Amino acid sequence: MLLLRTTGLEHVVPIVRDNLELIALYRQIKSNLGRNEEYRIFAEPSIDRFKKQISWYTEYEEEFSPLRVVFASCSPQVQDEIKSALKEKIDAVLAHFNPDHGVKNPDYVAFYQLLLQCIEIPSLEDCVYMSRLSDGTLHFVLTEWGFLSNTSNAEMGIIQKIRPLRNVMIDCIYTDGTPASQVLLHFKQGERTWKAMTDGNGKCNFSLPVGTSFEAYDVREEAKQRFLKGFNVLDHAKYQLVLEAEDKPMPPPVPPVPPKQGTPPPVPPFGVKQPAEAPLPHNRKTVHVINHLNEVLTGVPVHVWGEGINLRTTTDENGNFYLHDVWGTKKVKMKIGDAPGKLKIVPDADYYQMTVYPKKKKTLVALVVGYIVITSVIMAVAGLQLFVSATDRCPCFTGFYCYAPGDCSGSTGFIGGTSPRYRVAG
């Protein structure tokens, strides 16, 4: 037997029977509640007549502590849970003899009235002992049961006044009907305050004693609360909070996802190439740069210019560069190195391709041919000038020339197969 507490008889007043009959009363309780060992919730009394005190023992072997010690390290929420568990165990004992539950045996009904007096105790925190097993099971033992405090203002019904806990589910929505998710709410019950964050469906839950009330607040700014609504905790009730739609926070911007390092972006299928001045999409785009041989161009300088934009950058190791703040109504020109780029736009594509065609280079053969042609033309023009300077205008026909001016008699010839005829110097 484990001693829990010793009580001086001068500090308590019996309400059940005389102290000398307390042992017989315990034996009656143990006899009627012995089936499931529920009698252990009542400590076994041992009266010392000479010292005028009562010692209270338990058959449990684990370590027990009074609720005053337990509550010192518990939050108000845990304290309510412990009180509710105690009330449930007491109610389970009373239910075996409660006439409201269909019990008709007169002896049981009389014993039920006796139990209602036995569960009277002078103090909840000093007279109720508790132990918690490794699996979370709670054991309770009542000491000084059947007694009241020997004071003028002794309180009765301490255990009966304990209210069982009920789960309170808060459903928080906006006035437009959408759930108010991830909203921090403040709650208050008497001197107790706590916070709760709504989940993705706009719900949060906690436990409160039935029959109590609480208030809900919204925190818009630091240290400023806005009262929303007050509630009463009932057995079956719905608790809903409605927030203004304009209080709905703006969703955070979604950052663009750059391509994975070492993995080139997908290349759109080849087709008709768009001109370099084609309008670009509104949002940030990745431009993949290749040459006319479909080779990726890495580390090459890029120049993009036009109305409202002048970007100079270099393609990365994947042959990509990025365009920022380019509006779809504006056109741009692009140049890769010293060659113009042609941008291919594919509707609804995540990446765009720019193909660079090298400038045509003049070969040696072309230079030689060009030189010969130009030289021939120059020589022909020079020879014609020498020929004209060596002749005089024929006096017979204006506009024609001959080698022997004035000697127009003799043989005749034609120039161009047309008349008039004139003599050609032989």
Residue 74 is classified by DSSP as S
**Residue 376's pLDDT is what?**
76
State the pLDDT at residue 139.
Answer: 94
Q: Provide the pairing of β-strand 239-243 with 165-174.
A: parallel
**What digits encode the pLDDT tens for the residues 70-94?**
999 988 889 989 999 999 999 988 8
What pLDDT, on the 0 to 100 scale, is given for residue 40?
A: 92
Q: How far is CA 261 from CA 257, 268, 289, 320, in A?
A: 12, 19, 16, 11
- Contact present, 71 and 53 (Cβ < 8 Å): no
**Phi, psi (degrees; rounded to nearest 5) at 342:** -110, 125
pLDDT at 220: 64
| pLDDT for the residue numbered 292 | 73
Phi, psi of 340 (to 5 degrees): -70, 145
From the list 281, 298, 301, the residue with the least C-alpha distance to 290 is: 298
Q: Supply the pLDDT for residue 329.
A: 37
Phi, psi (5° rounding) for residue 359? -70, 145
Q: Could you tell me the pTM of the whole model?
A: 0.52
- How far apart CA 331 and CA 336 sit, in angstroms, is 17
Q: Which residues contact 162 (CB under 8 A, 6 or more apart)?
A: 83, 84, 86, 87, 124, 209
Q: Which residues of the chain have pLDDT under 70?
A: 17-20, 220-224, 250-284, 306-309, 323-352, 357-366, 381-426
324 and 303 Cβ atoms separated by less than 8 Å: no
CA angle 263, 264, 268 (to 5 degrees): 140
Point out which residues pair with 238 in neighbouring strands.
Answer: none
The string of pLDDT tens digits covering residues 290-340 is: 777 778 888 888 877 766 667 778 888 888 877 654 444 345 566 666 666
| Distance of alpha carbon 285 from alpha carbon 311, whole angstroms | 14
* Token reading at 18: 């005389």
DSSP 247: G
The radius of gyration of the chain's CA atoms, rounded to the nearest angstrom, is 53
d(CA 285, CA 309): 15
* Phi, psi of 403, deg, nearest 5: -85, -25
CB 171 within 8 A of CB 240: yes
Of the candidates 40, 134, 127, the one whose C-alpha atom is nearest the C-alpha of residue 89 is 40
**Which is nearest to 355 in space by CA: 343, 337, 339, 338?**
343
User: Residue 188 CA to chain centroid, in angstroms?
Assistant: 28
Distance CA 215, CA 21 (A): 49
